[in-house]
């Protein structure tokens, strides 16, 4: 099965898909011109055989391009020659050569995190072309070749261009691919059309319309638009524009290559697509482009959905730290604060404790009058303590220590690499040593008034580098509570009062699911429904009811669902009812955004996904969730826990109710 899968992968990868069914359909399609279908298959099988011979199965299993480049070469041979012993042999030779070139090129490109696309095919294609000039004994069917059947369509050049991607420049192939594109991804479909139109239109500026419209290289426009407008970059207006600008650039490149290469009887093939796309990708990867698709999924729609979920549900790629204290504190200075958070140190937060609007009791003349003085400071991240100082005295009120601005401090290197610095700690209050590993929430010292501190407060900042006083970088807080509301990945404003959430480990016990845990429920009709905990081959855990899968993750402070596969089911409803469950015992209210595919039916989902690419705000539709100690409520229903048992003890939604069987 796995072997069949990677053979299919070669076919569907060419269209930027990730689905076996598409692969089967494309194989079938390729036999419309039998020599293309057959020699393509020969190329793949030879490549697999060679890779097995050397023993590098994993490499080609993981990366589709090891196979699809060979496949394209095989199809290319099939497009020019009939099936004979000699062409089969030639195909096999070229396939292995392609594989070798793919491997080497990939090794080089990998260094820059840029894919090789179909560059090996473009090179080997040239080799094949040049060599075949001498092989006069090979029978070219180029003049008589015909597909098994064809149809006539309007906008023929567009469909033929689509077909050309698979060396099948026929209406029937083009139509078939167009339908496939539309079914799998409206984004790719749109980009294919727009790429074609824009490419041809730009071309007409320089050449007569007919020459542009019927150019055999227009499929390059389509490939560029699809790869940049949806696959390698996250689908949105900005990237659509980048994709179409790239199409514009390629128009000139295609012409120049055509003139130059044809002089030497060389084909242009996908070379312009490869050059333009790789140039763009090189740039976007190098600058860490925000909308680069770092975690590609099955379709551009799915990649977009995952991207939006990361941003709107989980705070995106920003640095996230926990609050460095327990209890309720007020923001004294935020980013770019009016007193000291300036220049290189603008990304910092200061906190004090206030009661009735004042940070001190009595007259505030003594340190112990200040509510913050002596309060615990806890580790905001998991990591190693890299530096600290604890010997400086706490200034009496009205005095500051300008010589030692930072006062007593502690610097922790987070597991993710960045450094967190906390300042103005109480003299000799630090309870950890350099080299200690600290965990979120662990008490590491007490709030004091050392350094440049006019009153007892906590200063916290994130730095890229280790030394004290390094330049600061932006961050957000994982969560905080304001009144009854729980906020995620947000920054409080100056003078706002916020509360750190303490973890209730009993809720964690409820939600620590172990492989093969089974939960038997009875629904409102007395029918039983069983959920089992399972793991897939990349280590993701999910609930399974036999047919559908609901993926979950348990973080140190949060349990959440992040992916659903399947049709309508109680599991799908559970995702809506409890998308995020904070491991917090106190009553809180918070917002979450459900993925589009959960909110709507199939058709509306497709429409909304497509519209979202033009305006991300369409995704950001928040639902409010209210969690009390043992219950989670929202407009979608209620999920409940019992004090003693693991898992959900009941799940109530629209028109259904599951209760655990005791």
Partner 1 sequence: MKYQKPTINRVDFALASKYGSPLKSQKIKSSIDGVSVNELTKEFGSPLFVFSQKDIENKYNELYEAFSSRYPEVQFWWSYKTNYLDAICQVFHNLGSKAEVVSEFEYEKARRLGIEGKDIIFNGPYKPKEALKKAALEGAKIHIDHLYEINDLEDIADEIGKEIPVAIRCNMDTGIYPQWSRFGFNIDNGEAYNAIKRIYEGKKLILTGLHSHIGTFMLNSNAYAQEVKKLILLKNQVQEEFGYNIEYIDIGGGFASKNRLKGVYQAPEVIVPSADEYAEAITNAIFEFNKGNLPKLYLETGRALIDEAGYLLSSVFASKRMPDGKKSYIIDAGVNLLYTSFWYNFEILLDKRYEGINEPSQINGPLCMNIDIIAENIMLPPLDRQSVLTIWPAGAYSVTQAMQFIRYKPRIVLIDKNSKAHLIKDADDLEYIVEKEVVPQELKS
- Distance of closest approach, residue 515 Cβ to partner 1, in angstroms: 21
Stretch that binds partner 1, among 104-112, 297-305, 362-370, 545-553 (CB under 8 A): 362-370
Stretch that binds partner 1, among 229-237, 332-340, 355-363, 381-389 (CB under 8 A): 355-363
Q: Does 203 bind partner 1 (CB under 8 A)?
A: no
Nearer to partner 1, 76 or 582 (CB): 582
* Alpha carbons 98 and 248: distance in angstroms, whole number: 29
- What letter would DSSP give residue 350? E
Residues with Cβ within 8 Å of 61's Cβ and at least 6 positions away in sequence, in order, are 2, 6
Opening angle at CA 473, ends 389 and 437, nearest 5:
45
Q: Does 362 bind partner 1 (CB under 8 A)?
A: yes
- Distance of closest approach, residue 494 Cβ to partner 1, in angstroms: 24
Q: Does 584 bind partner 1 (CB under 8 A)?
A: yes
Stretch that binds partner 1, among 90-98, 130-138, 256-264, 374-382 (CB under 8 A): 374-382
Stretch that binds partner 1, among 3-11, 60-68, 438-446, 601-609 (CB under 8 A): 438-446
Residues 107-166 that bind partner 1 (CB under 8 A): none
- Distance of closest approach, residue 374 Cβ to partner 1, in angstroms: 3
498 φ, ψ to 5°?
A: -130, 155
- Distance of closest approach, residue 639 Cβ to partner 1, in angstroms: 16
* Alpha carbons 645 and 256: distance in angstroms, whole number: 71
- Residue of 11, 184, 373, 590 that binds partner 1 (CB under 8 A): 373
* Alpha carbons 494 and 350: distance in angstroms, whole number: 9
* Alpha carbons 396 and 369: distance in angstroms, whole number: 11
- Distance of closest approach, residue 643 Cβ to partner 1, in angstroms: 6
> What are 196's two structure tokens?
């074609």
Total number of residues that touch partner 1 (CB under 8 A):
38
* Alpha carbons 531 and 658: distance in angstroms, whole number: 11
Query: Binding string, 441-480, against partner 1, x = CB under 8 A?
Result: x-x--x----------------------------------
- Residue of 112, 207, 279, 327 that binds partner 1 (CB under 8 A): 327
Within its chain, how far is the Cα of 27 from the centroid?
30
Q: Does 56 bind partner 1 (CB under 8 A)?
A: no
Stretch that binds partner 1, among 34-42, 86-94, 254-262, 359-367 (CB under 8 A): 359-367
Q: Does 357 bind partner 1 (CB under 8 A)?
A: no
Q: Does 363 bind partner 1 (CB under 8 A)?
A: yes
Strands in 203-249 per DSSP E: none
Within its chain, how far is the Cα of 246 from the centroid?
23
- Distance of closest approach, residue 364 Cβ to partner 1, in angstroms: 9
Nearer to partner 1, 2 or 362 (CB): 362
> What are 518's two structure tokens?
């089974």
Q: Does 502 bind partner 1 (CB under 8 A)?
A: yes
Query: Which is nearest to 523 in space by CA: 435, 652, 644?
Result: 652
- Residue of 390, 507, 511, 550 that binds partner 1 (CB under 8 A): 507
Q: Does 554 bind partner 1 (CB under 8 A)?
A: no
* Alpha carbons 413 and 386: distance in angstroms, whole number: 6
Stretch that binds partner 1, among 333-341, 466-474, 583-591, 647-655 (CB under 8 A): 583-591
Task: Name residue, tokens 């939604």.
Answer: 653
CA distances from residue 216 to 117, 158, 258, 549 in whole angstroms, order as listed: 20, 10, 10, 45
Q: Does 501 bind partner 1 (CB under 8 A)?
A: yes
Nearer to partner 1, 122 or 430 (CB): 430
Opening angle at CA 192, ends 254 and 206, nearest 5:
35
Judged by phi (left if over 0) then psi (alpha if -120 to 50, else beta), residue 406 lies in alpha
Residues 612-651 that bind partner 1 (CB under 8 A): 629-630, 643-644
Stretch that binds partner 1, among 33-41, 364-372, 552-560, 653-661 (CB under 8 A): 364-372
- Distance of closest approach, residue 324 Cβ to partner 1, in angstroms: 13
Stretch that binds partner 1, among 45-53, 84-92, 500-508, 565-573 (CB under 8 A): 500-508
> What are 346's two structure tokens?
């603008």
Q: Does 505 bind partner 1 (CB under 8 A)?
A: yes
482 φ, ψ to 5°?
A: -130, 110
Q: Does 326 bind partner 1 (CB under 8 A)?
A: yes
Query: Which is nearest to 98 in space by CA: 114, 121, 72?
Result: 121
Question: Burial level of 259, CB count in 10 A (0-12/13-18/19+)?
Answer: exposed
For 405, other C-beta atoms within 10 Å of its C-beta total: 18
> What are 535's two structure tokens?
């793991």
- Distance of closest approach, residue 519 Cβ to partner 1, in angstroms: 18
- Distance of closest approach, residue 557 Cβ to partner 1, in angstroms: 12
- Residue of 426, 486, 531, 574 that binds partner 1 (CB under 8 A): 426
Nearer to partner 1, 127 or 586 (CB): 586
For 133, other C-beta atoms within 10 Å of its C-beta total: 8
The b/e string for 433-466 (b: 16+ C-beta within 10 A; e otherwise) is eeeeebebbeebbbbbbbbbbebbbbbbbbbeee
- Residue of 423, 429, 450, 563 that binds partner 1 (CB under 8 A): 429
Stretch that binds partner 1, among 29-37, 50-58, 367-375, 412-420 (CB under 8 A): 367-375
The b/e string for 359-387 (b: 16+ C-beta within 10 A; e otherwise) is bbeeeeeebebbbbbebbbbbbbbbebbe
Evaluated on CA atoms 488, 491, 496, 501, the torsion sign reads positive
Beta partners for 414?
383
* Alpha carbons 44 and 7: distance in angstroms, whole number: 7
Beta partners for 625?
590
- Distance of closest approach, residue 415 Cβ to partner 1, in angstroms: 21
Nearer to partner 1, 418 or 477 (CB): 477
Nearer to partner 1, 235 or 367 (CB): 367
- Residue of 206, 214, 396, 465 that binds partner 1 (CB under 8 A): 396
Q: Does 402 bind partner 1 (CB under 8 A)?
A: no
Q: Does 506 bind partner 1 (CB under 8 A)?
A: yes
Q: Does 394 bind partner 1 (CB under 8 A)?
A: yes
Nearer to partner 1, 371 or 519 (CB): 371
Q: Does 437 bind partner 1 (CB under 8 A)?
A: no
Say if residues 408 and 427 touch (Cβ distance below 8 Å): yes
Nearer to partner 1, 297 or 646 (CB): 646
> What are 312's two structure tokens?
């709107």
Q: Which residues bind partner 1 (CB under 8 A)?
A: 326-327, 355, 362-363, 365-368, 373-376, 394, 396-399, 426, 429, 441, 443, 446, 501-507, 509, 584-586, 629-630, 643-644
């Amino acid at each position: 099965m796995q072997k069949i899968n990677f053979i299919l992968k070669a076919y569907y990868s060419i269209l930027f898909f990730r689905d076996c069914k598409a692969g089967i359909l494309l194989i079938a399609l390729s036999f419309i011109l039998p020599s293309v279908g057959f020699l393509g298959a020969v190329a793949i099988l030879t490549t697999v055989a060679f890779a097995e011979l050397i023993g590098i199965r994993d490499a080609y299993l993981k990366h589709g391009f090891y196979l699809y480049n060979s496949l394209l070469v095989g199809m290319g041979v099939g497009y020019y020659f009939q099936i004979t012993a000699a062409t089969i042999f030639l195909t096999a030779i070229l396939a292995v050569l392609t594989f070798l070139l793919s491997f080497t090129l990939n090794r080089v490109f990998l260094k820059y995190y840029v894919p090789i696309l179909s560059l090996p095919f473009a090179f080997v294609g040239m080799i094949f072309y040049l060599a075949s000039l001498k092989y006069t004994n090979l029978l070219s069917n180029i003049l008589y070749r015909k597909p098994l059947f064809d149809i006539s369509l309007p906008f023929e050049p567009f469909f033929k261009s689509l077909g050309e991607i698979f060396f099948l420049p026929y209406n029937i192939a083009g139509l078939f691919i167009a339908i496939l594109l539309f079914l799998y991804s409206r984004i790719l479909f749109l980009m294919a059309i727009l790429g074609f139109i824009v490419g041809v239109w730009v071309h007409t500026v320089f050449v007569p319309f007919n020459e542009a419209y019927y150019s055999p290289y227009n499929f390059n426009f389509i490939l560029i638009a699809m790869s940049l407008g949806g696959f390698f970059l996250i689908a949105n207006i900005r990237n659509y524009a980048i994709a179409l600008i790239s199409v514009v650039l390629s128009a000139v490149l295609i012409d120049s290559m055509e003139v130059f290469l044809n002089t030497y009887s060389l084909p242009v093939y996908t070379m312009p697509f490869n050059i333009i796309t790789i140039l763009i990708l090189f740039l976007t990867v190098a600058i860490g482009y925000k909308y680069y698709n770092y975690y590609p999924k099955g379709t551009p729609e799915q990649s977009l959905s995952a991207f939006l979920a990361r941003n709107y549900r989980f705070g995106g790629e920003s640095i996230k730290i926990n609050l460095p204290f327990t209890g309720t504190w007020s923001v004294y200075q935020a980013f770019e604060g009016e007193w000291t958070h300036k220049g290189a140190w603008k990304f910092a937060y200061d906190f004090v404790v206030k009661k009735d609007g004042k940070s001190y009791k009595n007259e505030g003349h003594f340190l112990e009058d200040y509510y913050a003085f002596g309060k615990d400071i806890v580790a905001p991240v998991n990591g190693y303590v890299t530096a600290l100082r604890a010997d400086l005295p706490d200034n009496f009120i009205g005095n500051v220590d300008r010589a030692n601005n930072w006062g007593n401090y502690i610097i922790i290197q987070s597991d993710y690499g960045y450094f967190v610095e906390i300042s103005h700690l109480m003299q000799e209050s630090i309870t950890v040593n350099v080299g200690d590993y600290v965990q979120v929430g662990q008490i590491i010292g007490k709030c004091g008034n050392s350094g440049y501190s006019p009153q007892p407060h906590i200063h916290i900042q994130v730095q890229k580098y280790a030394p004290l006083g390094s330049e600061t970088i932006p961050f957000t807080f994982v969560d905080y509570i304001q009144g009854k509301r729980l906020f995620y990945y947000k920054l409080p404003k100056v003078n706002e009062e916020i509360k750190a959430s303490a973890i209730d480990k009993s809720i964690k016990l409820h939600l620590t699911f172990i492989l093969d845990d089974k939960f038997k429920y009875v629904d409102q009709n007395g029918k039983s429904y069983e959920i089992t905990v399972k793991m897939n081959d990349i280590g993701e855990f999910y609930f399974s009811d036999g047919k559908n899968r609901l993926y979950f993750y348990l973080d140190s402070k949060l349990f959440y669902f992040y992916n659903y596969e399947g049709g309508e089911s109680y599991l799908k409803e559970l995702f809506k009812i409890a998308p995020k469950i904070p491991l917090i015992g106190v009553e809180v209210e918070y917002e979450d955004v459900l993925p589009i595919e959960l909110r709507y039916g199939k058709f509306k989902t497709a429409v909304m996904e497509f519209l979202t690419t033009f305006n991300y705000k369409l995704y950001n539709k928040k639902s409010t969730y209210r969690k009390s100690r043992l219950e989670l409520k929202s407009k979608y229903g209620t999920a409940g826990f019992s004090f003693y048992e693991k898992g959900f003890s009941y799940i109530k939604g629209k028109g259904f109710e599951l209760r655990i069987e005791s």
